[in-house]
Amino acid sequence: MATQRIPVILVTGFLGSGKTTMLNHLMRDSTDTRIGVIVNDFGSINIDAMAVAGQVDSMIPIENGCLCCAADASEMDEMLERLTDPELRIDVVVIEASGLAEPQSMIRALLSSSNERIVYGGLVEVVDAAEFPDTRVRHPELDRHVRAADLVVLNKTDRVAEDERRGLLEDLQEIAPGVPVVTAAHGRVDPALLFDHRPRETAGEDFRQLSFADVWADETGGADGCGDESHGHDHSRHLHAAYESVEFSAAEPLHPRRLMDFLDSRPVGLYRAKGFLHFAGAGRERKFGLHAVGSYLRFELSPWERGAPRTTQLVMIGTGIDAGTLTKRLAECVAAPEEEIDETHMMGVLRYVNETG
Ligand SMILES: Nc1nc2c(ncn2[C@@H]2O[C@H](COP(=O)(O)OP(=O)(O)OP(=O)(O)O)[C@@H](O)[C@H]2O)c(=O)[nH]1
């Protein structure tokens, strides 16, 4: 008899490429599908989980680390066990990996899962059209990630000119011949590309017949860059081996001008910053979502949740960043109670407010 198994889809992509944005779009656009989500944040404050919460049928956040390493098969199994509890009636599970995860390690963990209620549903790699050429130079291993994908989403096409977009499509075809690529702005892809609107009858058949050999095989010589002694991996080749995260929280509101000074002179190694800001003065009534990716900076405004504490929570991710200096500089952005802060102090911030966000 055919078994009805729940597809598990992996969403990977470098820091800030738009994974959470796409996930939120998918959830908004798939009201007839019950989606369970596992969100893996690299830092210890769950910014991504906060951005996804409320839209999803069930979610398990995993913070501080990279699922590709944290998840040996049994750990991954435990999380999937919870999400695939028949009582939750989940149709599809989406795992949003951290921006530094190794896709192939995650595929391997999924394929070796002993959970009989799931089936590997494929890998979606989100590519940041604006940043990819530079990021690829710094991290040639991204090519391997693209090759592991079943679908590549070339996101942020609104940030590149038409000829750049065409050039990127050609590059992606060269890197991963035959892997389908869809272009998107703000992660708006058709959910049907990722999952059926109703649960599929798999009859034991995988979405894509990936074998262990596929997962291990790679043009770079067979390794996926992951693996401890016990299964022959070398974690030092993982993207996240070179990155570190620094968290900052403050209960007291920030001075908007000092915060902008900090952001304008952020160290080059600080590639990604995200979180929520609580400003003193004219901006105090709104929650400012902060997103920095490379040189890109945006604030997304939203109301503070009723009854929720107004605080600042930030995660910064980069290479060669000095935690002590960053924390000290941010602490200096906290406004003193006697400081007068008016609209003019907010002007630097408002230049980066996302009108569509
Ligand atoms: N202009 C533009 N901005 C985008 C697009 N997609 C996402 N963004 C913005 O890019 C920033 C990062 O997006 P996220 O969805 O948080 O990226 P992510 O891949 O989940 O980030 P990490 O989890 O930190 O790796 C946010 O400010 C988004 O609003 C897009 O297509 N165009």
| CA 22 – ligand 1 centroid, Å | 8
Instruction: Using a cut of 0.90, tell me whether the model's pTM lies above it.
Output: no
CA torsion sign for 4, 69, 236, 240 is: positive
- Give residue-wise pLDDT tens across range 287-343: 999 999 998 999 999 999 888 899 999 999 999 999 999 999 999 999 998 898 988
Tokens (6 digits) for 18: 């738009």
- Rounded Cα distance, 144 and 133, in Å: 15
pLDDT at 219: 34
CA distance to 83, 120, 154, 307, per residue, from 202 (Å) = 19, 11, 29, 45
Q: What does the pLDDT read at residue 97?
A: 87
Cβ 105 vs Cβ 10: under 8 Å: no
Looking at residue 315, its pLDDT comes to 93
Q: What average pLDDT does the segment 153-175 reach?
A: 97
pLDDT at 109: 82
Q: Read off the pLDDT of each residue in 181-204 and give the average, rounded to a whole number.
A: 75
Cα–Cα nearest to 125, from 294, 10, 240, 293: 10
Q: In the structure, what pLDDT confidence band is assigned to residue 73 with cuts at 50, 70 and 90?
A: low
pLDDT at 43: 64
Determine the distance from the C-alpha atom of residue 269 to the mean position of all C-alpha atoms in its chain, rounded to a whole number: 19
pLDDT of residue 99: 85
Give all domains of the chain, ordered by start, each with its CATH number.
6-237 (3.40.50.300), 243-350 (3.30.1220.10)
Q: Which residue has the tokens 């602490």?
A: 331
Distance 16 CA to ligand 1 centre (A): 5
Classify residue 32 as exposed, middle or buried by CB count within 10 Å of its CB (0-12, 13-18, 19+): exposed
- Lowest pLDDT segment from 172-181, 196-205, 259-268: 196-205
Ligand 1 atom nearest 274 alpha carbon: 24
The identity of residue 138, as a single letter, is R
Q: What is the pLDDT of residue 210?
A: 42
What distance in Å separates the CA atoms of residue 278 and residue 284, rounded to the nearest whole number? 6
Q: Is the pLDDT of residue 15 over 50?
A: yes
Which atom of ligand 1 lies at the shortest distance from residue 129's CA? Answer: 31
Q: Whose CA is nearest to atom 4 of ligand 1?
A: 186
- Within 6 Å (CB) of ligand 1, which residues are found? 13, 15-21, 48, 99, 155-156, 158-159, 185-187, 272, 274, 291, 293, 298
Q: Ligand 1, residues 10, 12, 14, 20: which to mutate, most atoms within 8 A of Cβ?
A: 20
Q: Which tokens is 354 given?
A: 């996302």
* Interval between CA 233 and ligand 1 midpoint (Å): 30
Distance from C-alpha of 107 to C-alpha of 121, rounded to nearest angstrom: 10
**150 alpha carbon – ligand 1 mean position (Å):** 21
Which amino acid, one-letter code, is at 332?
E
